């Protein structure tokens, strides 16, 4: 054996521990704690985000409250039938002066009655006006008709024959809605339109069979007599 080999073995023998590390620690009551993982630093960022969202929601609610309070509360409409009204005679001249009747009515001479319709429970509440058996004629227009007309100033007034003015199928000049009945013995036209604060409902009838009720003649009436 070479001298170098002997020297190397001697060094290894000298520095080789006679006991393992665990045995040595056990004999001398040495305990080493395992290194604990570092605790994460507590963050308030998520709390800040939640608080910011809550503040935004509260601000929006506070902004909307004044608008909600400013919305007017519309009371439900009260309806009046024919048995809940009073009628008072009125002059058509007065209605003309008040701008209630169409201008063409200024020359009428033949009619049955013209009345103002009031609520029984409150005579100050005017529901509308009724004109019966009015004959309109203009010598420049080759048609003559008799008509009944309701001028409604209160939407809750349910006058007689109001159902006749539902689902009118024809229109004229985007202002008038009308239809013609199919009954041979009772040929009538039903016309509806609105102007200013009033609604007009006209039942157009033949007068002594002078003018037939048909589409052309009804539109002549609308063009020149209303």
d(CA 191, CA 98): 22
| Distance separating alpha carbons of residues 82 and 46, to the nearest angstrom | 69
**Domain annotation covers residue 57:** yes
Task: Express each pLDDT in 17-68 by its tens digit.
Answer: 666 666 666 766 666 555 555 555 555 566 666 666 766 666 665 666 665 5
**Residue 100's pLDDT is what?**
93
Predicted pLDDT at 183: 76
Tell whether 134 and 189 lie within a shared domain.
yes
The reply to whether 96 and 28 lie within a common domain is no
Judge if 45 and 131 occupy the same domain. no
Last residue of a domain, one of 13, 45, 68: 68
203 and 119: one domain? Answer: yes
Residue with tokens 């109001």: 162
- Report yes or no on 76 lying in a domain: no
Is 156 contained in some domain? yes
Predicted confidence at residue 106, as pLDDT, reads: 76
Residues 56 and 102 in one domain: no
Q: How far apart are CA 96 and CA 151, in angstroms?
A: 12
Domain boundary among 14, 46, 68: 68
| 29 is a domain residue | yes
State yes or no: pLDDT of 105 exceeds 60.
yes
pLDDT the model gives residue 41: 54
Least confident range of 47-51, 83-87, 174-178, 197-201? 47-51
Count of the separate structural domains present in the chain: 2
E strands within 44-121? 85-89, 113-119
> The tokens of 124 are what?
């100050």
Going by C-alpha positions, the residue among 223, 200, 203 that lies closest to residue 213 is 203
Question: 121 and 206: one domain?
Answer: yes
Does any domain span residue 75? Answer: no
Last residue of a domain, one of 68, 93, 114: 68
Instruction: Please give the mean pLDDT across all residues of the chain.
Output: 81
184 and 216 fall within a common domain: yes
Who wins on pLDDT, 108 or 41?
A: 108
The pLDDT tens digits of the residues spanning 114-147 come to 999 999 999 899 999 999 999 988 888 888 999 9
The answer to whether residue 207 is domain-embedded is: yes
**In which domain, by residue range, is 90 found?**
82-224
Same domain as 45, residue 16: yes
* Cβ neighbourhood burial of 92 (10 Å; 0-12, 13-18, 19+): middle
Give the integer Cα–Cα distance in Å for 226 and 223.
Answer: 7
The closest of 143, 153, 166, 159 to 218, measured between CA atoms, is 143
* Stretch among 19-33, 72-86, 132-146, 184-198 having the lowest mean pLDDT: 19-33
Does pLDDT of 180 surpass 60?
yes
In a domain, 90, yes or no: yes
Lookup: tokens for 24: 């040595």
Is residue 49 located within the same domain as residue 106? no
Mark whether 133 and 189 lie in a shared domain: yes
- Same domain for 117 and 55, yes or no, is no
One domain for residues 51 and 87: no
Q: What is the pLDDT of residue 137?
A: 82
The verdict on residue 74 lying in a domain is no
């Amino acid at each position: 054996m070479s001298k170098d080999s002997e020297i190397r073995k001697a060094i290894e023998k000298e520095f080789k521990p006679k006991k393992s590390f665990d045995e040595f620690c056990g004999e001398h009551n040495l305990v080493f704690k395992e290194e604990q993982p570092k605790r994460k630093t507590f963050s308030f960022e998520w709390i800040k985000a939640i608080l910011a969202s809550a503040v935004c929601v509260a601000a929006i609610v506070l902004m909307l409250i004044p608008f909600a309070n400013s919305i007017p509360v519309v009371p439900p409409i009260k309806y009046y039938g024919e048995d809940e009204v009073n009628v008072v005679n009125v002059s058509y001249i007065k209605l003309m002066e008040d701008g209630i009747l169409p201008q063409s009515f200024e020359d009428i001479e033949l009619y049955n009655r013209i009345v103002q319709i009031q609520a029984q429970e409150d005579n100050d509440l005017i529901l509308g006006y009724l004109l019966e058996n009015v004959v309109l004629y203009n010598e420049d227009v080759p048609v003559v008709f008799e008509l009944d007309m309701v001028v409604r100033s209160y939407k809750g007034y349910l006058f007689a024959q109001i159902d006749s003015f539902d689902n009118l199928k024809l229109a004229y000049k985007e202002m008038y809605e009308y239809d013609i009945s199919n009954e041979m013995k009772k040929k009538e036209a039903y016309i509806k339109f609105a102007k200013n604060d009033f609604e007009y409902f006209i039942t157009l009838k033949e007068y002594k069979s002078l003018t037939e009720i048909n589409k052309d003649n009804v539109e002549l009436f609308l063009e020149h007599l209303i």
